[in-house]
Structure 1
Amino acid sequence: MEFQLKSPERTALLVIDMENDFVHPEAPMCVPMATDAVPNIRKLIDKCRESGAAVIYTTHVHGRGRGDMGLMSSFWPPINDQEALVDNTPGIEIYPDLEPQDGELVIKKHRYSAFYNTDLEIQLRNRGIDTLIITGTVTNMCCESTARDAQFRDYKVIFVSDATGTMDHPDLGAGAMSAEEVQKATLTSLSFCIAEVASTGDVLERLNTLS
């Protein structure tokens, strides 16, 4: 399956949670594979801006009052201890190499999916966007959740295989998996019935036709 990019006005690049607390090498929740993906994401951002396609960012945040934390605190000690993803701190700002331009949307979210309790959908609908290119981190959490929610809403989803990243998973009852294994399993699952999986190079070639 391959989704055609029909026009820049109907296309948006989603840059999921490429914030300092996930991307900076010394951050408490650093995802090394996401850090490695920065150059590819940068290429896609530059090409989308050149072609006129929208670039939309998300950043995962939680307030100091903890009222928006829910079960996130049960799974992530740095979130529970407010060592990371704290709203209005440098950690939730987009990594400098990928920083938004004036006028580009930055959507704050409190759960994995960028659609959950945010205005992402209304922003997309009002712009006439029907095709989403998904990049960012974490592949099998925020990126996958967003891709699935997008497909449920009938958006065409292109999930970029080498512009997303995850981390090693320890054995918590189902066995351990390396980041590479988790990445492959997630991409395989998504490609079956949720999204087109494509490389940065493939997507850049298609974006070139919109320039």
Structure 2
Amino acid sequence: MKASNKALLVMDIQEGIAQRYANSADFFTPFQQAIKAAREANIPVIYVRIAFRDGYPEVSAKNKMFSAISQNGGFTETASSTQIHAAVAPEHGDAVVIKRRVSAFSGSDLDVVLRAQQIDTLILMGIATSGVVLSTVREAADRDYSLVVLSDACIDADPEVQRVLMEKVFPRQADVMSVRDWVARILL
């Protein structure tokens, strides 16, 4: 694998989301392994986080998911809930993209960052599989990116949804593999 046209997307692994899922001491291990391997292979690591402006001007009352956030407060750009979790913290030089919707592309400058670096292949991992990962796979495929989904570095609250996405949905548009298999492939 040629590293120069690839990027690892670390999506929504932020304080307010990860705390809902982190139920074991080794929860962050697959994410950390993928990030470490990407860095060793000189693959850019790009962080994507969801956050809103104060006052939520980008949230419509028609959006069921986000209107509840705007009514209850939180998830603003400066809130601790929207900061990248310390277990997978960005390093100097890593791009951090703020998005305003579920997909990593919607309401963000991700595509600009990727095009500027001539990235054409995305390696995806994040929380939740049925949210940011699914939406980003679909949109990235429509934008003609080649895709890899790291199956054990994608987390969903529903094991059946996770299984169906990994075994039936994602393989139509992406290569699905474990972090271990991906690391072995890029570090050859």
TM-score normalized with structure 2 length:
0.91
Gap change, CA 1:47 and 1:116, over 3 Å in 2: same
Q: CA RMSD in A?
A: 2.1
- Alpha-carbon deviation of 1:162? 0.5
Counterpart residue number, 1:187? 166
Gap change, CA 1:84 and 1:65, over 3 Å in 2: closer
Contact kept in structure 1, 2:126 and 2:153, CA below 8 Å:
yes
Gap change, CA 1:22 and 1:181, over 3 Å in 2: same
Contact kept in structure 1, 2:61 and 2:67, CA below 8 Å:
no
For 2:44 and 2:54, how far apart are their aligned partners in 1? 31
Counterpart residue number, 1:8? 3
For 2:52 and 2:91, how far apart are their aligned partners in 1? 24
Give the length in aligned residue pairs. 188
For 2:26 and 2:160, how far apart are their aligned partners in 1? 16
- Alpha-carbon deviation of 1:64? 2.6
How do 1:60-71 residues align onto structure 2 when only pairs under 5 Å count? 60-70=50-60
- Alpha-carbon deviation of 1:37? 4.4
- Alpha-carbon deviation of 1:86? 2.0
Q: What amino acid is aligned across from residue 45 of structure 1 in structure 2?
A: I
For 1:118 and 1:81, how far apart are their aligned partners in 2? 23
Q: What amino acid is aligned across from residue 180 of structure 1 in structure 2?
A: P
- Alpha-carbon deviation of 1:81? 3.4
How do 1:107-126 residues align onto structure 2 when only pairs under 5 Å count? 107-126=97-116
For 2:115 and 2:24, how far apart are their aligned partners in 1? 29
TM-score normalized with structure 1 length:
0.82
Counterpart residue number, 1:151? 141
Q: What amino acid is aligned across from residue 81 of structure 1 in structure 2?
A: Q
Q: Percent identity?
A: 28
- Alpha-carbon deviation of 1:124? 1.0
Find out whether 1:196 has 2:175 as its counterpart.
yes
For 1:195 and 1:57, how far apart are their aligned partners in 2? 20
Provide structure 2 residue ranges, at least 5 long, that are not aligned to the other structure.
Answer: none
Contact kept in structure 2, 1:23 and 1:35, CA below 8 Å:
no
Q: What amino acid is aligned across from residue 166 of structure 2 in structure 1?
A: L
Contact kept in structure 1, 2:60 and 2:67, CA below 8 Å:
no
Contact kept in structure 1, 2:129 and 2:155, CA below 8 Å:
yes
Q: What amino acid is aligned across from residue 88 of structure 1 in structure 2?
A: T
Identify which range, 74-83 or 128-137, moves more after superposition.
74-83
For 1:95 and 1:72, how far apart are their aligned partners in 2? 30
Q: What amino acid is aligned across from residue 115 of structure 1 in structure 2?
A: F
For 1:130 and 1:35, how far apart are their aligned partners in 2? 34
For 1:190 and 1:200, how far apart are their aligned partners in 2? 19
Find out whether 1:21 has 2:16 as its counterpart.
yes
Counterpart residue number, 2:90? 100
Q: 3-state DSSP class of the match of 1:81? A: helix
Q: What amino acid is aligned across from residue 15 of structure 1 in structure 2?
A: V
For 2:150 and 2:61, how far apart are their aligned partners in 1? 29
For 1:58 and 1:13, how far apart are their aligned partners in 2? 10
Counterpart residue number, 1:207? 186
- Alpha-carbon deviation of 1:110? 0.8
Contact kept in structure 2, 1:158 and 1:198, CA below 8 Å:
yes
